[in-house]
Structure formats: structure tokens, C-alpha cells
Amino acid sequence: NPSLIDRACTQYFPEHFKFVEDLLINKIRKDPIAGYIILLDEMRGFNEKVESLAYVGMKECYTAFVKQVLFVIKRQLDQTELIKGVLPIISQIRPGDRTIYADVFSPTIRPNFTLTRYMLKPPENAELLEQYKLAGDIDVEIFKMQGSTENYYHIIPPEFRLPEDEYMALGPARRIMLSYKPTTTSFTTQTREYFERVGSDLIATVAKEQGLQLGHEAIAKLAKILTRYTTGMGILEILLTDPKIQDVFINAPIGEHPIRIMHADFEECVSNLIPTKEDAESMAARFRLESGRPLDEAEPVLDTSVTTAEGRARVAAITRSLSPQGLAFAFRRHRSEPWTFPLFIQNKMINSLAAGLLWFVIDGGRSIIYAGPRASGKTSLLGATIPEIMRKYRIITVEDTLELPVDEYRDLGYNILSLKVQSVITKLESEIPADEGIRTALRLGDSCLIIGEVRSREARALYEAMRVGALSNVVAGTIHGDDPYGVWDRVVNDLRVPTTSFKATDLLVMPAPIRSADGLHRYRRLVTITEVGKKWQKDPLKENGFMELMKYDAKKDTLEPTKAFLNGESELLMAIGSKVRDWAGDWNAILDNIKLRADIKQATVDLAKKSGNNRILEADFIGRGNDAFHLISESVSKELGAFDNKEIYKRWMDWAKSEAKNVR
């Protein structure tokens, strides 16, 4: 009875109410574990005193005080994670000994010039799986946590290990640097270099004023860090530095959970990085500025892309009202350099015969749809299509979120133009709808057409483009789908493309994630290359409108050619060959050319492995190698009056071995 405690019982223990006040206001706030131990001692003392009391009224008062005051406080403390964690060893802890907190808490540290917090120590009893360095000065460790299917990604950036004098130089330099924010919405390599030079001068000046002795290397290192945390993307840049990171997830509510990542080797991982709300607001403002698209409660979704000094990523950001707890982000990291077919061969996603077949179809100017589930590698395959196109052809890309490495291909000498169209989600009125963008691309002249994700009504325009472009230049795009019939069903029934228009698709190329038996590991593989026939009317599955040319064999972990492919039953390949004088009507000649291309792709991979130089697998060498193949084929044809595959291969190998020596 609280009234009993407040009035009648106060005369028996007035000092104990002061004890409760001091316990709640001072002791528990300053040292909750010590406060809990003191509370237990007080309850023990009260219980002992109750046993010795003879007067019934006083006994009831003491009992009520324990049950209605002390026990209530104890019950609340017992529910906290802190007390739960120390309860098994509570008898061994001395009040005032704060060393226990070092065992209970994993410290989070935030240098004064950053917003993101770092957990310093990895989990206890965790098993180290791998460790490596990034950019020479960033340490990464991967741990296996006990009792968890998630691994632990522990990253220590260089700014975390700076000596005190370097910290002292960074703080004032950052405050000055913030007044030099870019006035443009783009952040080019040249802009970054400019701010690094400004940062170097600032740090040198601050160090001189404070009497700090900093060498040239230290100043350059600090300038790089300063640029990252002022005009750069902060912690996101560090994560994008790791080529093994595929996805980065920052969940709402920001600040309560660590960043999670998808690692190429260790799958889902929880990291030691905890972003703050200031981090999230800063990133959201940056994405709004660079994309020109809104992100607020009226438009709670933003699709865009981000490019940093270390990599590129597609960004999906959400906020209220879609996300009740505020901002959240998902980043799909793209390789800093374009993917190529030989790189996929090296990673076992495809084999050389599949690469040769795709190269042959691309050269034949046909339409290709890359279809598969999310994160299967569709966009990467689409990007790898570009270096297989001869550089003499003009290429137009159409995307709502810029993911394809257009700038890199332009630097490599490709004649390429990028069109950005309206997002199917945000539908910003100032942007051109996707279907109009595709039709505009058709009016820009004879070009190869590379279209990003097909999601909505632009599907009709895509198939219009396929009909127009299929007989001249390659048309390629991506779409979600699990199998050839699923793609047809989505295109016809969901996207409302007439079923006969689907015949404009020549080839369906389908990557998919393959999981291990334990469910803990995942591998990307091309599972089927399927030709779409032209002689069906309503249902391609019932009317045998699909012909598999290559199919994934799970036991061999590779694509295997089908009998239909090897026996020359493909109308598509025969149609491509019919336009070449030396191949017309000769399936063996067509197959030999596909195998020649496959041998060249495999030779490229073998050459890189033998020389230990993986730069040979990059887009620059692949593009030049493809050009050399066509020039050598032309030369051999003129000299010998026919395509001599052995001679072409021999001359190409001579060229490749010579050129590979100069690849750096």
C-alpha cells in the first residue's frame, strides 16, 4: 500500500527514502552495475531486519518498502541487457570497479572529424577467417561468430590510427575546408584532385601554426582523409574501396544498427561501422543534389548512382512515409572497371564456349535479353557486352539509373552515348519517360542499343527497337525472370507486349545465383542460353518456341552445349551465317568460327594466368584483342581466299603475346 509507505511508515526509516533518491539520481546513472550491487545489499539488509522485528506494524512497513520500492527498482534493472550480461558474475564484482565495463561493452570510437562510429574490438571467441589490406593502409579482417550464420566484417581505416599531432592538424583544417564546398553538382576526378591540393596546403599551414612537424607523406595522407570526409562520401568511400564488397545495407533507424554488407567470399556480414543520423542526412542531401531527384515524404524513394574515387554504386534510398523509421539505404557496388567475358570465365560464371557463342551473336547484330533474379549479374553481363562490339559502331545506352560504365568505355575509344530517362518509381516530370527515351535513341541514327532494366511500358519500345535494329546492330537489355517461359509471361502478361512481338527476342541469356547444399554459400553462374524461335503463334512453351543452346550442368559446374546446338538446329546461328559468304549454308564453318572465338577467349584467360597479369582480362585489352581478331580475319581471308581458323588463331596469339608485354 503506497499510502502506508508514504505516511505511517515514514517514521520508521526516513533515511531510506533519501537512499532511494540517491540511488536513482546518482549511483545508477554514474555506475549502474555498482548501483545494482548496492541495491541488492540494501534489500538483503531489509530482509534480515524484517526477520528480527517483533512489532507487526513496523514489520509490515519494512516488507511493503522492499516489495513496492526496492523490488520494483530491481525488476526494472533485471530487464536491461547490461545487468543480464553481468548477472552470472555479479558476486565477483566489487562496487566501484569499472574494469567490468571494458568486458561488457565493445567500444565505439569516432574521430572528431567524422560522423560514423567504429567498434574497435571484434567479437569475443570469434574465429579469424581472412585478413587483407585495401589501398595499402586499410586493414580488413573477416571473423566467424559463434552461434551466428553471419560473419563479421571488421575494417580499420587509416584515420582511426592517426597519432595525436595528426589529429590536431586535421580538426582545424576540416573546419576551413568546409567553406570550400563545390558549387557544381558533379564531383569529377579533377575536382577531387583540386580539393586534395587545397587540403595539403591547409594541413601544412595548420601544422606550421601549431608547431607540428609533419612530413610530405603525412600531409598527403591527411589531405586524402580530409577530402574524403568533407567533399567526399565519408565511410562509404572506404567500403567501396573493397572490390569484394557487392552490397552495402544501412537500415533504419539509423544509428541503432551497424552497416551490413554482402561479401563476395563470405556472403552476408555485419560490420563494425555504425552510421549516425548526421551521416544519413549528409548522404541523402548529396544524392538529391547529384541526381536532381527528390527524396522526402512526398517522394520517399530515390534511385540514383554514386561515383567515388574508389568505385561506383547504384543507390536505392527510402525515407518517411514509406519507411516509418526514417532514412535507409541500399548500395549495389559495381566493379570500378568494366566486366568482360574473360573475367567471367576466370570466375567460372561462364565458360569459353558460351563467351564465343555470345560474341558471335553480338557480331551478328541480333537482340539479346539478359534475364534473371535480383543480384544474378544481369547488368554486369550487359556491360560486358559492350567491349564485344566493334569500336567502329556507335553505341547508345538508355538507363533510368546510370549503372553502365559509359565513361570508362568512352575513355577506351568507344563511340558511346548515354541517355538518362525517367525512373519508373519516382517519375520526375523533368525527365523523359523510358519509352520516349528508347524511341529517341532510334531517331539518333544507326547504332547499337544497350538498354538497362526493363520494368514497365518501355518494354513495348524495346521490342520496337529490336524489330528495327535486329537486322543491323545488336540490341541488348535486362529484365527480371527465372526461366525463358517466365520472361515471356512477364513481357506479355505483365508488361502488355503483344505475344508475337516477343519473337523479336533472338537470344535469352539467363544468369542465376547457385546455392551450396548448406545454404550458406552462393555462386553466380550462367544457367542457360536459349534461342527464341519464330514459328510459334501463341505459347512458345507449348509450341516448342524455345531452343536451349547451352545448359548449366550442376555436377560439372559449367555450361554444356546441347545436341541441338552441336547439330546445327539453330535457326538464329544459321541466319547469322547466311549473311557471310564463307559461312552461308555451312554449319560446320559457323561452329568452327564460334569455337575459334571461344579459343581466343580461353587463350586470353590462360595468358593472364601464365603471366600473372590480370590486366590482360580488362576491357582495354579485350577491346583491342577483338579489333585485332577482325583485322587478322580480314587479312587471312584476303591472303588465302578463305577463313583459315588455325592461321587466324596463330596470328592472333602472336599479337596477344606481343601486346601483353606492354599491359600494365
Query: What is the tens place of the pLDDT at every residue in 592-611?
Result: 999 999 999 999 999 999 99
Tell whether 117 is covered by a domain.
no
The predicted model scores a pTM of 0.73
The C-alpha cell that represents 329 in the structure block: 539505404
Q: Indicate whether 238 and 89 sit together in one domain.
A: no
pLDDT for 340 equals 95
Confidence label for 102 from pLDDT (cuts 50, 70 and 90): low
Kindly tell me if the per-residue pLDDT of 638 is higher than 80: yes
Least confident of 188-202, 207-221, 295-309: 188-202
d(CA 339, CA 91): 60
Kindly tell me if the per-residue pLDDT of 461 is higher than 60: yes
d(CA 157, CA 2): 56
Q: Indicate whether 411 and 551 sit together in one domain.
A: yes
Query: What is the tens place of the pLDDT at every residue in 317-334?
Result: 999 889 888 899 999 888
pLDDT for 558 equals 92
Least confident of 336-340, 362-366, 428-432, 652-656: 428-432
Supply the range of the domain harboring residue 192. 161-334
pLDDT for 30 equals 86
pLDDT for 471 equals 47
Tell whether 48 is covered by a domain.
yes
CA 210 centroid distance within chain: 42
Query: What is the tens place of the pLDDT at every residue in 569-589?
Result: 999 999 999 988 888 889 999
Neighbours of 624 (CB within 10 A): 18
Tell whether 577 is covered by a domain.
no
Q: Which residues, listed in sequence order, are joined to residue 130 by a DSSP beta bridge?
A: 142
What integer best gives the mean pLDDT of the chain?
A: 84
Tell whether 130 is covered by a domain.
no
At 572 the three-state DSSP class reads: helix
Q: Indicate whether 394 and 519 sit together in one domain.
A: yes
Q: Which residues, listed in sequence order, are joined to residue 526 by a DSSP beta bridge?
A: 511
Q: Indicate whether 295 and 347 sit together in one domain.
A: no
The percent helix, strand, coil of the chain (3-state, each to 5) is 45, 20, 35
Mean pLDDT for the stretch of residues 340-344: 95
Mean pLDDT for the stretch of residues 209-225: 83
pLDDT for 271 equals 92
Mean pLDDT for the stretch of residues 168-194: 67
The C-alpha cell that represents 315 in the structure block: 543507390
Under 8 Å CB-to-CB from 378, ≥6 apart: which residues? 370, 371, 372, 478, 479, 511
pLDDT for 596 equals 96
DSSP-derived pairing of the beta strands 507-515 and 522-532: antiparallel
CATH number at residue 520: 3.40.50.300
Q: Indicate whether 443 and 530 sit together in one domain.
A: yes
Q: Indicate whether 292 and 388 sit together in one domain.
A: no
Q: Indicate whether 515 and 424 sit together in one domain.
A: yes
Task: Write down which residue in 306, 334, 362 finishes a domain.
Answer: 334
Per the model's pLDDT, the better-predicted residue between 423 and 89 turns out to be 89
| Highest averaged pLDDT of the listed ranges 3-17, 175-189, 232-246, 630-644 | 630-644
Tell whether 412 is covered by a domain.
yes
Kindly tell me if the per-residue pLDDT of 375 is higher than 70: yes
pLDDT for 647 equals 94
d(CA 319, CA 284): 10
Give the residue among 369, 549, 362, 571 at the shortest CA–CA distance from 463: 369
Tell whether 129 is covered by a domain.
no
470 in Cβ contact with 504 (< 8 Å): yes
CATH number at residue 324: 3.30.450.380
Least confident of 80-94, 466-480, 565-579: 466-480
Mean pLDDT for the stretch of residues 87-102: 79
Confidence label for 4 from pLDDT (cuts 50, 70 and 90): very low
pLDDT for 427 equals 64
Least confident of 10-14, 184-188, 469-473, 490-494: 184-188
Tell whether 613 is covered by a domain.
no
Kindly tell me if the per-residue pLDDT of 183 is higher than 60: no
Distances (CA, A) of 28 to 66, 76, 162, 332, 339: 18, 12, 35, 45, 57
Q: Indicate whether 379 and 247 sit together in one domain.
A: no
Tell whether 237 is covered by a domain.
yes
pLDDT for 457 equals 67
Q: Indicate whether 513 and 530 sit together in one domain.
A: yes
Mean pLDDT for the stretch of residues 613-622: 94
Q: Indicate whether 411 and 546 sit together in one domain.
A: yes
How large a percentage of the chain has pLDDT more than 70?
Answer: 89
Q: Indicate whether 493 and 471 sit together in one domain.
A: yes
pLDDT for 627 equals 94
Task: Write down which residue in 101, 116, 131 finishes a domain.
Answer: 101
Give one DSSP letter per residue of 364-425, joined into a string: TT-EEEEEESTTSSHHHHHHHHGGGS-TTSEEEEEESS--S-HHHHHHTT-EEEEEE---TT
Task: Write down which residue in 303, 334, 365 finishes a domain.
Answer: 334
Distances (CA, A) of 175 to 3, 157, 171, 318, 416: 58, 21, 7, 30, 41
Q: Indicate whether 392 and 329 sit together in one domain.
A: no
Mean pLDDT for the stretch of residues 159-167: 77
| Highest averaged pLDDT of the listed ranges 298-312, 323-337, 349-363, 426-440 | 349-363
Domain count across the chain: 3
Kindly tell me if the per-residue pLDDT of 175 is higher than 80: no
The amino acid at residue 611 is S
